[in-house]
Amino acid sequence: MEKAYATAIFAGGCFWCMVSPFHALDGIIEVESGYIGGHIPNPTYEQVKSQQSGHYEAVRITYDPNMVSYEKLLQAYWMQIDPTDPGGQFHDRGPSYRTAIFYTTEEQKRLAEASRQALAASGRFDAPIVTEIIPATTFYLAEEYHQDFYKKNPVEYQQDRKISGRDEFIKKYWGDEYWQFFEKDK
């Protein structure tokens, strides 16, 4: 009997940095880098990065809902991003680096809205949460060299991540809670 897997799609800035945290969770089948939300079919990285295609860099996560809940994926997502920045993420600027949750079901929409509201009410951030919750459209896989970039190019990945400011942000706003969240699945 074939297992029933589910899909989650999150935009959180550079997709290279969004893959490894989700791979750390139990129940994740696959994490793919790609593009969503734009106005041209089959965009290339160059078209998306030029900020002219309207696409977001995003990750599509295939997961086993019997092992990991969508709520846990949302929690992991919020810990990866600056949800208060409308202009991009960290050192990556422009529309393709904005944050968004792309829902594939009404239940995902409801859960995403509830999690965004809870985060806003938590007082963790001084500025308003600007991450959008949008119906999923066609997800286009990024070029092969972007898939699992952190595994294929660990030195370049670590250098990019270090200069991005992402880890400093995570440490400031999540501290040990971040590491404890991801270590629970190890």
Check residue 35 and give left, alpha or beta (phi > 0: left; psi -120 to 50: alpha).
beta
- Given 11, 14, 59, 142, the catalytic residue: 14
17 an active-site residue?
no
Q: Give the HSE-up count for residue 149: Cα atoms under 13 Å, Cβ half-sphere.
A: 21
> What's the CA gap between 134 and 120, in Å, rounded?
18
Cβ neighbours for 13, distance < 8 A, ≥ 6 positions apart: 57, 81, 88, 89, 90, 92, 97, 99, 164, 166
Could you tell me if 147 and 32 are in contact, meaning their C-beta atoms sit under 8 angstroms apart?
Answer: yes
Q: Which residues are catalytic?
A: 14
